[in-house]
Structure 1
Amino acid sequence: MQPNSNNSDKKPADRLLKMPGTRERGPVDFKTKIAGYEGEIMAIATRDVVVAQQTTTIIQAVGIMTREGFRRLPVVDAGTRHLRGIVTVGDIIDFMGGGDKFNLVQVKHGGNFLAAINEGLREIMTPHLVTMPITGAIADAVEIIVNKNIGGIPITDAEGELKGIVTERDVMKVLATEHSGRKAEDIMNASVRVTGPDTPIGNVCREMVRCRFRRLPVVADDVLCGIVTATDIMSYLGKGKAFEQLTTGDSAEVMGAPVRSLLSGELHTITPDRNIHDIALEMIRRRVGALPVIEDSHLVGLVTEYDLVKAFSGE
């Protein structure tokens, strides 16, 4: 899809709701704060990791991630399970029109999306990634998640063989066992970028990649309609909906649909005075990575798994 030369595509996607925030973003001494959680990371990690190979096609990987509800898929050698890289939902969004990986579609395949999705994962995976050893501590995982903003960390042995993966949600489950006096308004992101329901999916992809977001609230006439996540966009491809009205296979057809077509009817919200312990439990129960904060029917912020991990680690 060619970027629009005028500014008409900016008005919904580039809106930014700026509210005064109270959260503290200073440095946290993780080793001190989480001294009680020193121990092997494998105690909370997923050991039976679903993986792909470098020759696995992009569309096959998208199918696996969509079916399993994964945000990331480690890429290993078939025989040795040596870790070679990882493909994340962010890589998929980048490939679908958000960033540099879209060149695989536009340049190598002349805009033919159907041809590009049958390329191997080596074309879009992230080869140089942060890992943890099997002897790592939970405090180490927290430090990586918060300081490097990495949502999933592969765990390898001394030979580089994949032994597990630990995610933000895994860490949050451990940290959320501690009660807290803090509320949503204390930790929420109060400067929330939003998009409109008629914004093309391709524009949303570009916004997510440019700002390094995994989700965008969808707002119409100052009313929250829903949240579109990178996983929703990937699932649009993985469940085949992207291909239902294709006639030429061109990427513009795939990514030109309005983002409203991805929204589900279910929308869960929280209020600014909600305790963060309760928020964490609700996210775990609903298996969501963020909850919008609503006050007087207006969106005032967003609380993510990342925000909660950082808040609990600083308690």
Structure 2
Amino acid sequence: MKIKTIVGEKKVEKVYPTTKIIEALTMMDKENVRRICVADPGTGRVEGILTNMDIVDFLGGGSKYNLVKFKHNHNMLSAINEPVKEIMTDNVVLIKENAELDEVIDLFVEKKIGGMPVIDKSGVLITTINERDVIKYLKDQVDEKLLVKDCMTENVVFATPGERLKDVARTMLRNGFRRLPVVSEEKLVGIITSTDFVKLFGSDWAFNHMKTGNIREITNVRIQDIMKTDIVSVTSNIKLVDAIKKMNELNIGVLPVVDGEKLIGLITEKDIVKCIYKK
């Protein structure tokens, strides 16, 4: 099956290399997307991609924070007006519209990515394809015998409510995780995701909580103040197809797996794609 059949006329969100970071953040929050393509305004070719994890990096998790720290002396109100090209990922994995689904999944697994731009034969951006698109397409082909425990991630890296945002950002980048469950006294009490970092600025939360404009006013926030607490979870013995249905209904990319109140794993879109593909 060719991927252009799967994504159809799916809308693509894009910005340009000179677009301000704050404008891209606002668009990502408004459209509820984890990645946004950066295209050349003249040719339409992909110049880069801005992902939630780039934002996590920019907000204290890694080297992209240096833009805020050194060039702008921690002044976030100044730094977010820099162009997107300063923090985007420019080594982008691309896929052509006539590629087969197997090629897409191979790239997801091999490159450890959750989505990529789709281009035409001339290299012009058409749309994007991500793990959620693949799951929605393959959901009716999932083996009814598969259970969540057959596919879930165990030995989960988690955060605690008192950790600061900057520490969570570093943990996410170090482990390559977009989501961290929050655990207190062995009980699941919340979850924080890379999308939450985007929402801090895309929804004006950060601006309403900064007095001086210094980014450290935000990176030192305890995650208990921003984490999601209305968590939807599953048990390990439910059918994978039922977990997929729940994720699709709620438009979410992860379900914590619990035994009572104790966290025992996570089932993510990445886990599902790898599991379906393997089977």
TM interval, short-chain normalised? over 0.9
Q: Report deviation, 1:146.
A: 1.7
SS, match of residue 191 in structure 2: strand
Alignment of 1:129-208 (within 5 A): 129-180=92-143, 181-208=145-172
Offset, 1:302: 0.4
**Distance apart, 1:296 and its partner CA:** 2.8
For the 8 Å contact 1:176–1:312, the answer to whether it is kept is no
1:245 Cα deviation (Å)? 2.6
CA deviation after TM superposition for structure 1 residue 314, in Å = 1.7
C-alpha separation in 1, matches of 2:135 and 2:112: 14
Residue 283 of structure 1 pairs with residue 247 of structure 2: yes
Asked whether the 8 Å contact 1:189–1:303 carries over to 2, the reply is: yes
Q: Name the CA distance, whole Å, in 1 between partners of 2:79 and 2:257.
A: 39
> Which structure has the higher relative contact order (CA within 8 Å, separation 6+)?
1
Partner deviation per Cα, 1:15-34 (whole Å, 9 max, x = no partner) = xxxxxxxxxxxxxxxxxxxx
CA distance in 2, matches of 1:179, 1:81: 37
| Alignment gaps of 5+ in structure 1 | 1-38
Displacement, 1:134?
1.2
> Is contact 1:131–1:155 with CA below 8 Å preserved after alignment?
yes
Give the Cα separation in 2 of the matches to 1:220 and 1:236: 23
1:224-243 pair list within 5 angstroms: 224-243=188-207
Residue aligned with 1:87, SS: strand
Cα deviation, residue 79, structure 1: 2.9
**Residues 1:122 and 2:93 are matched in the alignment:** no
Give the alignment partner of residue 107 of structure 1, picking from 37, 61, 70. Answer: 70
1:1-315, aligned counterparts within 5 Å? 39-45=1-7, 47-180=10-143, 181-315=145-279
Query: In terms of mean alpha carbon deviation, does 40-49 or 70-79 score higher?
Result: 40-49
Paired residues of 1:175 and 1:309 also in contact (CA < 8 A): no
Q: SS in structure 1 opposite 2:272?
A: helix
C-alpha contact (below 8 Å) 1:152/1:168 kept by paired residues: yes
The amino acid across from 1:116 in the alignment is A
Shift of 1:258: 1.0
Runs of 4+ more than 2 Å apart: none
- The one-letter amino acid of 1:44's match is I
Report the more deviating stretch, 299-308 or 231-240.
231-240
Partners of 2:182 and 2:192 within 8 A in 1: yes
Letter in 1 for 2:3: I
- Contact 1:52–1:76 under 8 Å retained in 2: yes
Question: Matched residues in 2 for 1:297 and 1:247: separation?
Answer: 38
- Matches of 1:204 and 1:130 in 2, distance apart? 27
| Residue range with higher mean Cα deviation, 53-62 or 276-285 | 276-285
TM-score, normalisation: structure 2: 0.96
Per-residue deviation, 1:285: 1.1
Matched with 1:21 is: none
Displacement of 1:269: 0.3
Report sequence identity in percent. 36
Deviation, structure 1 residue 208 = 0.7
Q: Specify the code of the residue in structure 1 equivalent to 2:109.
A: V
How far apart are 1:237 and its partner, in Å? 1.6
Offset, 1:203: 1.1
Q: For 1:245 and 1:296, how far apart are their aligned partners in 2?
A: 36
Cα offset for 1:119? Answer: 0.2
Q: What's the CA shift string for 1:156-179, capped at 9, x where partnerless? A: 122211011100000011222113
- Mapped contact 1:243–1:254 kept (Cα < 8 A): no
Distance 1:166 1:278 in 2: 23
- The residue identity in structure 2 corresponding to 1:314 is K
